[in-house]
């Protein structure tokens, strides 16, 4: 007779009293998320949230259904970048995300607190729990892509995301500073511990163009993202400049009106690696 444990991946090692697989929550029953992409950097301020937002917009423009999970609980930027201030709503089935002008679904703690600049003075375990709930208790509905904007570091939130959310791939963001690269290597090694699949490395803030003389100014040093990606055995997705227009649009909450051909190229490379690539759509 077949045991009730037949087929369980831990059958051979467990004592036969293993807990049953947790039931899906109501919100999960109402959701179908095809691809989960985590955007990570290790170091803060290299433009992780900008990259997450640009990727969301780029995918949305190509007709995909996109959601953004803002996992940077103590420093959430996503709602402001998209100009979204409508609070999320909760029902017996779960939390309904807020929606941007163009239909991108967003969950962020800043859409749940009264004032956007109120601090969240919470210890790690509470923060981790919330991030898990952003996955289990949010009615994401049908999404082609859910992007997770991770906070800097390799602490509680990235640990919880890797442990409790089925991340399909990771996009790493770096800047030319060697300091940033060192911290990015830490993050890549962390990803490797969880056997993460890396879609590749974007070198952000690679240069800025002087609007007067068009000179390419490498203000954070010579870019070496390509080398860095190779040294870490992950694909290199390309470089992005510091674009004052982007900072302006992000501050104005109008990221959905921002275009970057360079970024569209990067999106294309990511899409080629995801299971839901354009040809499979």
Binding site for a second copy (CB under 8 A): 42-46, 49, 72-75, 77, 80-81, 116-125, 127-128, 151-156, 159, 175, 177-179, 182-183, 185-187, 189-190, 193, 208, 210-213, 215, 217-221, 242, 244, 247-248, 250-251
DSSP per residue, 64-126: --EEEEE--SSS--HHHHHT--PPPEEETTEEEPEE-TT--EEE-GGGTSSSTT------HHH
For the purposes of burial, counting CB atoms within 10 Å of the CB of 113, is it exposed (0-12), middle (13-18) or buried (19 or more)?
middle
**CB closer to a second copy, 146 vs 250:** 250
- Nearest of 177, 183, 164 to residue 224 by alpha carbon: 177
CB of 229 to a second copy, least distance (A): 15
Q: How far apart are CA 64 and CA 66, in angstroms?
A: 6
**CB closer to a second copy, 229 vs 271:** 229
The torsion angles phi and psi of 130, rounded to 5 degrees, stand at: -65, -45
HSE of 235 in the Cβ direction (CA atoms, 13 Å)?
Answer: 14
CB of 153 to a second copy, least distance (A): 4
CB of 259 to a second copy, least distance (A): 19
**CB closer to a second copy, 33 vs 56:** 56
CB of 16 to a second copy, least distance (A): 31
Q: How far apart are CA 232 and CA 201, in angstroms?
A: 10
Q: How far apart are CA 57 and CA 3, in angstroms?
A: 48
**CB closer to a second copy, 22 vs 119:** 119
Q: How far apart are CA 196 and CA 138, in angstroms?
A: 24
**CB closer to a second copy, 140 vs 207:** 207
CB of 160 to a second copy, least distance (A): 9
CB of 7 to a second copy, least distance (A): 31
Quick check: 39 and 148 in contact, CB under 8 A?
Answer: yes
**CB closer to a second copy, 30 vs 208:** 208
Q: How far apart are CA 233 and CA 227, in angstroms?
A: 10
């Amino acid at each position: 007779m077949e045991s009730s444990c037949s087929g369980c991946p831990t059958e051979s090692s467990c004592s036969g009293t293993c807990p049953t697989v947790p039931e899906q929550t109501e919100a999960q029953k109402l959701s179908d998320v095809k691809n989960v992409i985590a955007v990570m950097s290790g170091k803060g301020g290299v433009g992780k949230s900008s990259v997450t937002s640009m990727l969301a917009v780029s995918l949305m423009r190509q007709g995909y259904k996109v959601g953004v999970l803002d996992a940077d609980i103590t420093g959430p930027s996503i709602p402001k970048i998209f100009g979204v201030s409508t609070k999320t709503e909760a029902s017996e089935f779960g939390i309904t995300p807020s929606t941007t002008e163009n239909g991108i679904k967003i969950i962020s703690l800043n859409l749940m607190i009264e004032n956007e600049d109120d601090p969240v003075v919470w210890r790690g375990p509470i923060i981790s729990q919330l991030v898990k709930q952003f996955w289990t208790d949010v009615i994401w509905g049908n999404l082609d892509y859910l992007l997770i904007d991770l906070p800097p570091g390799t602490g509680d939130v990235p640990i919880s995301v890797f442990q409790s959310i089925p991340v399909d791939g990771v996009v790493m963001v770096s800047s030319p500073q060697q300091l940033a690269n060192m911290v990015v290597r830490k993050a890549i090694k962390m990803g490797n511990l969880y056997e993460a699949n890396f879609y590749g490395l974007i070198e952000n803030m690679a240069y800025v163009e002087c609007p007067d003389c068009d000179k390419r100014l490498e203000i954070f040093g010579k870019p070496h993202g390509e080398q860095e990606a190779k040294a870490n055995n992950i694909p290199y997705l390309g470089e992005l400049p510091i674009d004052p227009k982007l900072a302006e649009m992000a501050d104005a909450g109008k990221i959905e009106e921002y275009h970057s051909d360079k970024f569209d190229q990067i999106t294309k490379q990511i899409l080629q690696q995801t299971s839901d690539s354009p040809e499979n759509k």
